[in-house]
Structure 1
Amino acid sequence: MKVSKTEKNLPEPTKAELEILQVLWEFGPSTVRFVNDKLNAQRDVNYTSTLKQMQILTEKGILKRDESQMKHIYIPVEDESKTKDQLLDRFVNTLYKGSASSLVMQLLGNNKTSKDDIEKIKKLLNNFDK
């Protein structure tokens, strides 16, 4: 099964940029200070680093900035699921030649898949058959 391309391909965010996006998806439109505070709960991040990354994300078209208020508010352009779908498409196309089944087989064969996970996967597959 080949994985289809998404209609609008945004540039691929870096790991650090994805951390910023995760904060924005979880908490909604936010200031740089808010995002930086949330990132600092996980690891030390300089405010200026967060600011620069959010400016780069804006230049890439991944974020937009609302300048209508005194504090600039940053907003993701795409929702979380659409971005994850796009990243997953790229991942599967690059590493598994577009074969989602190859990815699933690798995941299931890594001895880290719990019985609970396998049951959830079975239920999901059964729903596809209906």
Structure 2
Amino acid sequence: MKAIAPTAAELTILRVLWRRGPSTVRDVHEEVYAETGTGYTSSLKIMQNMLAKGLVTRAEDARQHIYAAAVSERPTLNHLVSGWMDSAFDGSSLALAMQALDARPVAADELAQLKALIKKLEKNVS
């Protein structure tokens, strides 16, 4: 079965479900859209579409429907990044990484994490 790439709105909801675990539409709506004019029914419709796509599951045990991510975080994000690498960077992970580092300032702690990752990768290359 081919992986389905979530839209930006779907990815935002998936990130909430990955972090919080199974949640009601109300819980997700309050976390994602509390400070916006987006209505509850918009959140509900997005999550119903995600259910149809197989991105989430829904348990109907109680009065409220509980939604959970049906896709894992790492494979989903890897699928998205691979698509960006192929379409925008001719398949080059280096070009993608360089663009990402150029697009926004890098915090000192993130730079330290990048350096540690490079050292780890260098050990595996030898």
TM-score of the pair, normalised by structure 1: 0.81
Counterpart of 2:12? 19
Structure 2 residue runs without a partner (length 5+): none
Is the alpha carbon distance of 1:94 and 1:116 closer, same or farther for their aligned partners in structure 2, counting shifts above 3 Å?
same
Matched, 1:43 2:36: yes
Pick which of 93-102 and 113-122 moved more.
113-122
Structure 1 residue runs without a partner (length 5+): 1-7
Higher relative contact order (CA 8 A, sep 6+): 1
Matched, 1:97 2:90: yes
Question: Would you say how many aligned residue pairs link Structure 1 and Structure 2?
Answer: 123
Query: Which portions of structure 1, spanning 4 or more consecutive aligned residues, are displaced by more than 4 angstroms?
Result: none
TM-score of the pair, normalised by structure 2: 0.83
Q: Give 1:18 shift.
A: 1.5
Percentage identity across paired residues of the two chains: 37
Counterpart of 1:73? 66
| 3-state secondary structure, aligned to 1:97 | coil
RMSD: 2.0
Q: Give 1:80 shift.
A: 1.7
Counterpart of 1:10? 3
Is the alpha carbon distance of 1:112 and 1:56 closer, same or farther for their aligned partners in structure 2, counting shifts above 3 Å?
same
| 3-state secondary structure, aligned to 1:43 | coil
Counterpart of 1:129? 122
Per-residue CA deviation, residues 84-125 of structure 1 (Å, 9 max, x unaligned), is 111111111111111101112223445723555433222111
Is the alpha carbon distance of 1:126 and 1:48 closer, same or farther for their aligned partners in structure 2, counting shifts above 3 Å?
same
